[in-house]
Amino acid sequence: MSTAPNPSPMPDASGDATRAVHAGLPAAEPFRPPMPGPVMSAYFHLPGDPTGAPYAYGRETNPTWTALETAVAELESPREPAHAAVFASGMAAVAAVLFGHLRPGDTVVVPSDGYHGVHQLGYRLAEFGVNVSQVATADTERWLAALATARMLWLETPANPGLDTCDIRALATAARERGVLVAVDNTLPTPLGQRPLELGADLSVASGTKGFSGHGDVLLGYVATRDPALLGPVRAWRSCVGAVPGPMETWLAHRGMATLPLRLERQSANALAIATRLLARDDVADVRYPGLPSDPGHAVAAAQMSAFGGVVSFTLPDRDHAERFLAALRVIGEATSFGGVRSMAERRARWTEPPAGTAPAPGDGAGEVSTADDPGTAHPRAAQVPPGFIRLSVGIEDAADLVADIERALDETARPVG
């Protein structure tokens, strides 16, 4: 497969904000736009032998992809050369890593408390003969023990939605000694909040839908690595299954990347203000935010994150209380995503429990679940959270307005946690 040329790289001395604004852009040319528009073409003129052609067919390469892939690589690994591939969604990127690098008989270890989409892929992997094992994100001893039989560790830190953390550097160091690959889902922190490749991970994977692009108008994913050999199977999977992003979505994500430093700074500050206020209430339990000094994951997060992000979680007494709280919010919307400029909250257990008024499925009562992406399709059970568990994605609004909205909604539905 041909490899497209990269746009002009950023100077090594560039800071993160400068890099986010300029990464992946071509060298300045008189009378040309600083950021070329999306290349809308399914094919390219291709005379002669196609071997080595930078652009031949739209399922293989596209100049708009090249620009964003260069930018992603520069953000994920500013100190050493890296490579990236963009995808139609975060799940497409996840699938490319797992199916591209695992074979029948291999074992992958995933977080038991991580994103439910990975668990769903785990069932598909099992159908192809891959062993899938689960370890809680914060259980370092079990992660290290799992290295004895693993081909890959799939880490997610902070974990979505519970926000536990794990030490990427320690696990990556131990994994390297045993020849085990380490992939990290870096969706929540973004590459400006945490850089797994600098901490020793082999692959950094993210949903660009979330904080990276940040405006809730793009579905996109990416994979980054310093080892081009590791990207080969990932790109091959993308081409074979057609998990390619549209040029317009790619261009929008690249454009949105320029404001990532500003958004992340504001979201982190807002999230800390909200989490601090939530801790003072007796009708809220289990407030989690890695930026809180009292958070169980704070020490690990502080050692490997430069910003703690905009996701806060907490638990209300029960399902009805949580639903009343969400209905009472006025500034904060109710939706299933995070990392955007607009604040949103959801009762996360709605994806892992039977609909109201229906009987539980046989067994442990959890039964099958529907995903946010396809509410009408049943999937194997995902990790459970309490019925009143709230995942709050904090946007860039004024902190005072967000705090006031939350406190008013809580006051309207207040009942002490029993």
Residue 310: partners with Cβ closer than 8 Å, 6 or more residues away: 211, 264, 267, 268, 270, 271, 338, 339, 393, 394, 395
In 3D space, the residue among 315, 323, 339 whose CA is nearest the CA of residue 418 turns out to be 315
End-to-end CA distance of the chain: 60
Which DSSP state fits 218?
-
What is d(CA 192, CA 407) in angstroms, rounded to the nearest whole number?
30
* Cα distance between residue 94 and residue 104, in whole Å: 18
Taking the C-alpha atoms of residue 108 and residue 207, their distance in angstroms, rounded to an integer, is 20
CA distance 349 to 390: 8
Residue of 113, 185, 202, 295 marked active site: 185
Query: Is residue 254 within 8 Å of 35, Cβ to Cβ?
Result: yes
Dig out the tokens for 354 from the structure. Answer: 């039977």
Q: By three-state DSSP, how is residue 141 classified?
A: helix
- 338 and 344 Cβ atoms separated by less than 8 Å: yes
What residue has token string 């704070």?
Answer: 298
**Cβ neighbours, 10 Å, residue 354:** 15
CB atoms near residue 399 (< 10 Å) = 17
Q: Is 330 one of the catalytic residues?
A: no
User: Residue 330 and residue 342: Cα distance in Å, rounded?
Assistant: 12
Q: Which one, of 218, 225, 201, lies nearest residue 72 by Cα? A: 225
Q: 222-256 b/e with 16+ CB inside 10 Å = b?
A: bbbbbeeebbeebbebbbeeebbbbbebbbbbbeb
User: Which residue in the list 59, 176, 255, 281 is annotated as catalytic?
Assistant: 59
Amino acid identity of residue 36, one-letter, is P
CB of 239 within 8 A of CB of 1? yes
Among residues 106, 164, 202, 210, the one annotated as catalytic is: 210
Q: Considering the candidates 115, 226, 266, 405, report the single residue annotated as catalytic.
A: 115
User: Is 115 one of the annotated active-site residues of the chain?
Assistant: yes
Q: How far apart are the C-alpha atoms of 189 and 14, rounded to whole Å?
A: 20
For residue 416, what is the enclosing H or E element?
A: none
185 catalytic residue (yes or no): yes
55 is catalytic: no
Contact 4, 57 (CB under 8 A): no
Nearest to 24 by CA among 9, 34, 38: 9
What positions carry a catalytic annotation?
A: 59, 115, 185, 210
